[in-house]
Amino acid sequence: MILESVVTTRSEDGSAHIAPLGLHVDGAHLIIAPFRPSKTLENLQREGHAVVNWTTDVRLFAGPVTGRRDWPVIALDHFPGYRLEAAQTHAELKVIEIEEDAQRPKFHCAITREETHSPFRGFIRAQAAVVEAAILVTRLHMLPKEKIESELGYLQIAIDKTAGPIEQEAWSWIMVRIDTWRKER
């Protein structure tokens, strides 16, 4: 099982680095598997800690993959890192094992603390559509044009039927990126 999450790590200069990542669930542990090269990977290797943020604010998924990495974070008192202000729940992670790999090392993490900040009020289909489209944005260079266009066409239906302002804003950022990609081809 993979949980779509937003991971915050601490960079060398002490600032927060934000990246949407799918975390693999392994019993009580979570596995972060960043493809090289990755700033998250460098930070995990150096710091040995990360914070996983779970949020239904899908701008946190569409934003980082369209160049918007500057999101409000809160420094944690008792942990060397930051959580997103938009996190409904955050969990503090300690790296307990690294499975080295030339392409995609796996960081096995234990959850040392978890805290919930705001309630969950149900799914919006458009949220899932934005998350799927954000993944497509990261794969524009490797997927056939027809596949991207047909998937976007399908996802657009959920946006048109169910999106609120947050999902519409996130979708608009993705569409600007897609328009650029269309012109580049």
Q: List contacts with ligand FMN (CB under 6 A).
A: 4, 19-22, 33-35, 38-40, 61, 64-65, 131, 134-135, 138
CB closest to ligand FMN, residue no = 40
Least separation in angstroms between residue 137's CB and ligand FMN is 7
Both tokens assigned to 44:
């995990």
Closest distance to ligand FMN from the beta carbon of 6 (Å): 9
Phi and psi for 32 in degrees, rounded to 5?
-100, 125
Amino acid at 154: Y
How many helices (H) does the chain have, and how many strands (E)? 5, 8
Residue 53, classified by CB atoms within 10 Å of its CB into exposed (0-12), middle (13-18) or buried (19+), is buried
Which residues, listed in sequence order, are joined to residue 99 by a DSSP beta bridge? Answer: 106
What is the distance between the alpha carbons of residues 95 and 106, in angstroms, rounded to a whole number?
Answer: 10
- Taking the complex as a whole, the smallest distance from the CB of residue 10 to ligand FMN amounts, in Å, to 13
Of the pair 64, 81, the CB lying nearest ligand FMN is at 64
Distance CA 26, CA 36 (A): 22
Q: Which is nearer to ligand FMN, 103 or 144 (CB)?
A: 103
Q: How far is the CB of 77 from ligand FMN (least distance, A)?
A: 25
- Name which of 78 and 134 has its Cβ closer to ligand FMN: 134
Q: Kindly state the smallest distance separating residue 146's Cβ from ligand FMN, in Å.
A: 21
- Of 13 and 77, nearer to ligand FMN (C-beta) is 13
Nearest residue (CB) to ligand FMN, 78 versus 111: 111
Partners of 4 in the β-ladder: 22
Here the tokens at position 126 are: 């458009």
Q: What is the SS3 assignment for 120?
A: coil
- Rounded distance, CA 140 to CA 77, Å? 39
Taking the least distance from each CB to ligand FMN, the nearer of 83 and 107 is 107
